[in-house]
Amino acid sequence: MSFSIPKNVPSFTSPDRDFEDGAVGGLFGANRDLPLYKDKPYYQRSGRNQRKMYRRKRFLLGFIAVFGLFYWFGYFSGTGTSILPNKKKVKEIVDWEDRKEKVKEAFMLSWNAYEKHAWGNDQFLPVTKTGRQMIPKGMGWIIVDALDTMMIMNLTKPLEKAQHWVEHSLTFDQDSEVNTFETTIRMLGGLLSAHYLSQDLKLVPVKKAAEDMYLNKATDLADRLLGAYDSLSGVPFASVNLKSSEGVPSHADGGASSTAEAATLQLEMKYLSKLIGETVYWKKAEKVIEVLDNNGAKDGLVPIFVYADTGNFRGNEIRLGSRGDSYYEYLIKQYLQTKNQEPIYLDMYNAAMSGVKKHLIAKSHPSHLTFIAELPNGIGGDLSPKMDHLVCFMPGLFALGATEGLTVEEARKAEKGVKWGVRQEEDLKLARELMRTCYEMYNVTATGLAPEIAWFNLKHGKSDDGELIEEDPSKDIIVKPRDAHNLQRPETVESLFVMWRITGDEIYREWGWKIFEAFLEHSAVGKGAKDGFTSLDNVNEVPPTQRDNMESFWLAETLKYLYLLFSPNDLLPLDEVVFNTEAHPFPKFDMGRLFETGWKRLPRDKEGEIIKEDPIEEKPENQKKQEKE
């Protein structure tokens, strides 16, 4: 691998160190006040330096000249606000290395609190300082999910303890039902990513575990998950019993599986197949996509439920939030994972994104924010101006699909691979617009943190006719009380990371830093965050009521993407790795002779509709006899 991990980063040699005694002073400051620019210059006002009239004329002229230059560049800021209209400011010099270290400290605060109060538990409740298991012996939900984050951050001591727990305490031989999707993306994905990163000698020099320990654990888990795919159609059941490897239909939703969950297992299963040279995982995973595609969803937009036994969709509700989101994500990522050797997934992705642009893109009033709406009654029905925070993975996805992980400059000049054209320019423009909207979902709330769900004002103005657009996003975005909670979700910072890597526009780093500040300010538990960070009840209340739960993706995704956002671009470059939907990085690879795309799309007409063959008419028995005679 060509990326390297900086070795001059200080390690946390004492997991139990006391962060109250000044160790996190740089993170929170004396009053937990985190200015956007830590090194913002301050100057005294010029009135304090008035000169007497007897000064020589040339000195006065020189002073006026210097004053003019200082005014032009906006230096007279007093206590932070200029006394004169300030139209130009000197670009601040930001220490991104320092900001990256702040994210690492936040991770360690979270990890130390978990280790102290809930070690080995699947869930951590930082307010009450307790933990809970999801199944009797636990699954390592938090530990396994955070392994690769510790590797990326070069955290030797915590990783050694986590690795020891995985090797000696983690067992999947339990008579318990688990969610097929969540277990695949978090546990299987976390183990596979840890295996991948542990092979790089430039990473943290932890004591070597048993040979292929992570891979062996991953294979054991995958073998148990295979039973979920034993439905009549090949679409996996929502759950699976780990001990018996028996698939279990959903206990809700009429027994149907979530479309996104069924179609977000492929990166993990195919990478495992590549690692151990067994095709069974690959074939099981790709069969799911074939069955879903054979439904012939209009314009590539799939309903959010599918029956495992029949492989048919249930209902016609379409959304890119919960139950729909990562179906689209894994189309383009499967294409990228195998180094563009499976164009079938690019075709499906392009068709789906055309459908998104045709049916789901809407504009809010009065600021004309671009957002992705929902179709509760399917194509042809009314738009619902509702957008889950989950949808904020889409800015990054549009950008990733446009450049395939290259920077914009590289993609536009590429002679192989990316075919740059009007579509790619449009998708990149749409990515920028959606990214701004997702940021505003944070920016308009009292805490600076986004709600779980946002609703948009769809009152139509005249902005399409060229009139000036009123810039007040707080009028565009509506936060309903039941949707106002914040679960420490990663989708917005994930897209900020991708947008920064692809465009090089520093505004995305600045937005990420502002979001990180808001998390520090409002979700910290205990003095100096000594008890970690937690979810919130209402982002429009200050101080907000804290929910008693730290999500595992806070460590696995949110802090990881923030750390990568502030890191050099050669750390896990997007043209060499693909992240699963839980932010676990896998390497791109050649398919080789052993693997192939084992299916083809049914023929379609110009409208994208499946061309149905005329049924063969059964001849009457008397006609058959006459033909024989």
Per-residue pLDDT for 76 more than 50? no
Say how far apart CA 188 and CA 221 lie, in whole Å: 7
Query: Does the predicted model carry a pTM greater than 0.95?
Result: no
- Catalytically active residues are 182, 325, 452, 491
**What one-character-per-residue DSSP string does 65-88 give?**
HHHHHHHHTT---TTTS-SS----
The token pair at 239 is: 């759950």
The token pair at 178 is: 């688990």
Residue 274: how many CB atoms within 10 A of its CB? 22
Q: Which pLDDT score is estimated for 211? A: 72
Say how far apart CA 76 and CA 84 lie, in whole Å: 8
Q: Is 581 known as a binding-site position?
A: yes
Say how far apart CA 248 and CA 256 lie, in whole Å: 11
415-424, 439-448, 462-471 — which is least confidently predicted? 462-471
Q: Which pLDDT score is estimated for 627? A: 53
Q: Pairing relation of β-strands 257-258 and 247-248?
A: unpaired
Q: Which pLDDT score is estimated for 31? A: 43
49-58, 256-265, 457-466 — which is least confidently predicted? 49-58
Say how far apart CA 293 and CA 609 lie, in whole Å: 11
CB 292 within 8 A of CB 306: yes
Per-residue pLDDT for 79 more than 90? no
Q: Which residue has the higher pLDDT, 604 or 61?
A: 604
Query: What is the tens place of the pLDDT at every residue in 254-271?
Result: 999 999 999 999 999 999
Per-residue pLDDT for 544 more than 80? yes
* Average pLDDT for 486-509: 99
H helices of 119-183, where?
141-152, 156-168, 180-182
Q: Which pLDDT score is estimated for 92? A: 72
Identify the band that residue 3 occupies on the pLDDT scale cut at 50, 70 and 90.
very low
Q: Which is it for the CA torsion 478, 482, 485, 489, positive or negative?
A: negative
Q: Which residue has the higher pLDDT, 403 or 468?
A: 403
Domains of the chain and any CATH numbers: 361-593 (1.50.10.10)
Identify the band that residue 560 occupies on the pLDDT scale cut at 50, 70 and 90.
very high
Q: Which pLDDT score is estimated for 72? A: 45
* Average pLDDT for 117-125: 98
Q: Give me the chain's average pLDDT, please.
A: 86
Q: Which pLDDT score is estimated for 333? A: 99
CA 582 to chain centre: 7
CB burial readout 481-519, b (16+ within 10 A) else e: eebbbbbbbbbbbbbbbbbbbbbeeeebbbbbbebbbbb
